[in-house]
Amino acid sequence: MSSLATKSAKVLIRPQRGMVGLDFRELWNFRELIVFLTWRDILVRYKQTLLGGAWAILQPLLQMLLLNLLFGEVAGLPTSGVPRPLFTFAALLPWNLFSNAVSDASRSLVANRNMITKVYFPRIIVPLANVLSGVLDFAVAFLILAGMMIYYQFAPVNLLLLPLYVLVALLTALGVGLWLAALNVHYRDVKYIIPFLTQFWMLASPIAYEAKSIFERLPEAWQWLYALNPMVGVVEGFRYALLGIPVYSENMLWVSLASSLAMLVSGLMYFRSMERTFADVV
């Protein structure tokens, strides 16, 4: 046996520089792990459920019926001339993509503690895979939305904008998910806060009502506060691209997009600063 064959390979792991520290080359080298974890999360999501993948359709449909009853039949809020089922369902798609990704990503590090404490890989891959796994559910539910648009005879205004708003929803979910995942490693109180946080965030987003009904109640100088919610811009943009409902203000849309970017960058920075402690604490 040659001397070269007897030598074991050595991998030197150096700390990354910079606060964000996102190494795209390293992520590309671990692309097979990202695909594997994403597919695993998809398979596990509906394992041992009676209806299986049908929940990807039933969940937004049941939410739509409940919101239509409360905000339509009881409160009688307007919908910009769009049938209420279509108005609500078009907003629930990006919202569910966002909220499910945040919930799953926030628990991902603790759920994968055995893998994190035994082998090295970029830790961001774990919450990233959780965020990406929700895209399949979104695609399935989008087919139902397409059928509703045909039934109500609505043609999309600008389909090319849809991938942009889906990407913004995913990046916002990743930013928030990184914050909560890192916090959950040290403080398990986070798992009790997440359900309350997502419910409050849903009511604060224009899912079952028009965004302009909130903007118009605020003084003009303070409207940007409501636009700091990134999902306001995502939902408004989604409804415009599909149903032609105009956004309240392009300036407020840019505020939402900027807020989304801030959440992503700050989430990366916080995750990066806490990453070294995960294996010891989780």
According to the model, what pLDDT value does residue 50 have? 77
Instruction: Decide if 131 contacts 99 (C-beta within 8 A).
Output: no
**Which pLDDT band holds residue 21 (cuts at 50, 70, 90)?**
low
Please give the DSSP secondary-structure letter assigned to residue 70: I
Handedness of CA 106, 110, 114, 117 (dihedral sign): positive
Residues 78-121 pLDDT 10s:
998 899 999 999 999 999 999 999 999 999 999 988 888 888 88
- pTM, two decimals, is 0.89
Residues 170-187 pLDDT 10s:
999 999 999 999 999 999
Torsion of CA 142, 148, 151, 155, to 10 degrees: -60
Residues 254-266 pLDDT 10s:
999 999 999 999 9
Q: Taking the CB of residue 215, how many other CB atoms lie within 10 A of it?
A: 19
Please give the DSSP secondary-structure letter assigned to residue 121: S
User: Of how many residues is the chain composed?
Assistant: 282
Residues 195-234 pLDDT 10s:
999 999 999 999 999 999 999 999 988 999 999 999 999 9
According to the model, what pLDDT value does residue 280 have? 80
DSSP string for 146-158: HHHHHHTT---S-
Three-class SS state of 228: coil
Q: Cβ-count burial of 180 within 10 angstroms (0-12 exposed, 13-18 middle, 19+ buried)?
A: buried
**Which pLDDT band holds residue 129 (cuts at 50, 70, 90)?**
very high
In this predicted model, which residue has the larger pLDDT, 18 or 267?
A: 267
In this predicted model, which residue has the larger pLDDT, 28 or 280?
A: 28
